[in-house]
Structure 1
């Protein structure tokens, strides 16, 4: 949990319940709220000029959503959509800034969190420029596993479908399916009841 829910609520935060496929904000909207996921999953995505969806991140319990845009005067470059029933905490930008001013330790935690996300995002971007699908897929899986509490082998259940992995890596779904099978044979990952574990 990035910021304790009790602290957010003490500053006037509200809790919203979202249905699957419900939009939180759209690309081009102006950031006005701090969002933190209490329970559920949200995807950040962009549609290219050909109408193909590119998933740039999938966020889950405890993650904040595009909080860095509250510090600059830019519009959202992505859309945020719930990909399962999701409970989200919202706090106005003004109250969020006051919370940070009055709690410098939270500000340091956010800087640390943003730095880690940015570091792994760079690694993922490097992997996504590879012509080899296994490098792209490994990069995406390792990026998401890096936020898990248990980093031991096969402990992380990948929360994506093969189609979502394709949208994250810019590959075709068929390529992802073939590569996942290859990585299983190489003992990089395990498949149990169609779920991927790394």
Structure 2
């Protein structure tokens, strides 16, 4: 969890509900609030001129999203909408800035989070321009597997994304992702159990 929910409430945060596919904010709109997922999943995305979706990030319980425009004072570079029914903490920008000023350790925490997101974007830009579909898919899965860092670290990692979501994050067609996953299964890099994709913990 980025910010404890008790601290959020003490600074005036409110919990808002989003239905599946409901839009929280649109690309180009002003950044007026800090958002943190209480329950559910939110994705940030863009659409190309021909309507193809590109997912910039997926955020689940305890994760925050959309902070750079709050710090930089620029419009949102992507849309945000709920992947499933979700509950989101919403904190006005001025309260968020005050919270960071009064809690320096949280300020440092956000510096680390934003740095890791920049690393992810740089990694994906390199993957999309330089590597095979199989390599792109495996790199994406391994990134999120490492990010989880949970008690199940010594168990096989269940990939929490659909084939379509993997396609939208890697810039591939869903048919290409399906073929890449099949090829990785043949190489024993991945497993498919009851249609779910798994990555071995030792990978």
TM class by shorter chain equals: over 0.9
- Residue 181 of structure 2 is matched in structure 1 by 180
Gaps in structure 1 of 5+ consecutive residues: none
CA RMSD for the aligned pairs?
Answer: 1.5
Q: Bigger CA drift: 126-135 or 149-158?
A: 149-158
Q: Which residue of 2 aligns with 1:189?
A: 190
**Which 10-residue stretch deviates more, 8-17 or 127-136?**
127-136
Counterpart Cα distance in 1 of 2:59 and 2:41: 6
Q: How many residues align?
A: 198
Question: 2-side partners of 1:76 and 1:146: how far apart?
Answer: 28
Partner SS, residue 129 of structure 1: helix
Q: Is the 8 A contact 1:124 1:143 kept in 2?
A: no
Counterpart in 1 of 2:148?
148
TM norm structure 1: 0.94
Structure 2, unaligned runs of 5 or more: none
Deviation at 1:108, TM superposition (A): 0.8
SS across alignment from 1:146: helix
5 Å-filtered alignment, 1:110-189, equals 110-150=110-150, 152=153, 155-189=156-190
Given that residues 41 and 59 in structure 1 are in contact (C-alpha distance below 8 angstroms), is that contact kept between their aligned partners in structure 2? yes
Question: Following TM superposition, by how much is the alpha carbon of 1:131 offset from its aligned partner in structure 2, in angstroms?
Answer: 4.5
Q: Normalising to structure 2: TM-score of the pair? A: 0.92
SS of 1:28's equivalent in the other structure is: coil
- 1:20 maps to which residue? 20
Cα deviation for residue 128 of structure 1 reads 1.6
CA distance in 1, matches of 2:155, 2:121: 22
**1:154, 1:68 → 2: CA distance?**
34
1:154 offset after TM fit, Å?
A: 5.6
